[in-house]
């Protein structure tokens, strides 16, 4: 079976996963500690838009995981971003990477958006802000007095090491799909990417 078919299968299997648990794992963080490039990625188990749980261990071997952080379903720039990621999803699969998007949105909000736009990757709920905090994306009182995520991206290699972190300055500040593919290819070639 080709790598693209395996990765497409992964996108379907993720929706069928039944793992339970909370964020956490082998890499426990102290309060206020933020992960950086070169650190071991924090393991997680987060509920997706179908109500199932995704763990980092669900990612197939030899595949990069790209986590996209977004503000929420109420943010039109973020929703446009997710639709754009959908259109570029095959490029990521072709480059041995799978996507997952993370916000504080409840499962019902993510489910409605995912169903409407047929999003092919998991939309994960981090209502306790564990991954959002761990990667330095917390936007305190960012929307209607509630803590949310900033826009950003983390690339994790197959050994579960963080290889790239991008924190956007605002809802519109994010790398294009082609820029992300380029960064991914550079990382896969063993080249360092300036942060």
Q: pLDDT value at position 25? A: 36
Distance separating the N- and C-terminal Cα atoms of the chain: 36
Condensed to tens digits (0 to 9), the pLDDT of residues 54-79 reads 998 889 999 999 999 999 999 999 99
Q: Where are the domains of the chain?
A: 28-169+176-188
Confidence of residue 4 (pLDDT cuts 50, 70, 90): low
What's the CATH architecture for 28-169+176-188?
3-Layer(aba) Sandwich (3.40)
């Amino acid at each position: 079976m080709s790598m693209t078919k395996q990765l497409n299968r992964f996108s379907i299997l993720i929706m069928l996963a039944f793992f339970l648990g909370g964020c956490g794992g082998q890499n426990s963080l102290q309060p206020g500690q933020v992960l950086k490039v070169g650190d071991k990625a924090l393991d997680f188990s987060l509920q997706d838009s179908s109500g199932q749980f995704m763990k980092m261990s669900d990612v197939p071997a030899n595949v990069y995981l790209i986590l996209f952080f977004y503000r929420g379903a109420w943010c039109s720039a973020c929703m446009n971003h997710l639709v754009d990621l959908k259109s570029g999803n095959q490029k990521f699969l072709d480059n041995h990477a799978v996507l997952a998007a993370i916000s504080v949105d409840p499962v019902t909000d993510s489910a409605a958006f995912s169903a409407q736009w047929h999003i092919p990757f998991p939309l994960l709920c981090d209502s306790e802000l564990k991954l959002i905090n761990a990667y330095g994306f917390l936007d305190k009182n960012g929307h209607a007095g509630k803590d949310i995520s900033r826009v950003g991206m983390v690339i994790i290699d197959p050994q579960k090491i963080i290889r790239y972190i991008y924190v956007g300055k605002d809802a519109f500040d994010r790398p294009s799909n082609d820029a992300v593919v380029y960064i991914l290819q550079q990382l896969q070639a063993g080249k360092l990417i300036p942060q």
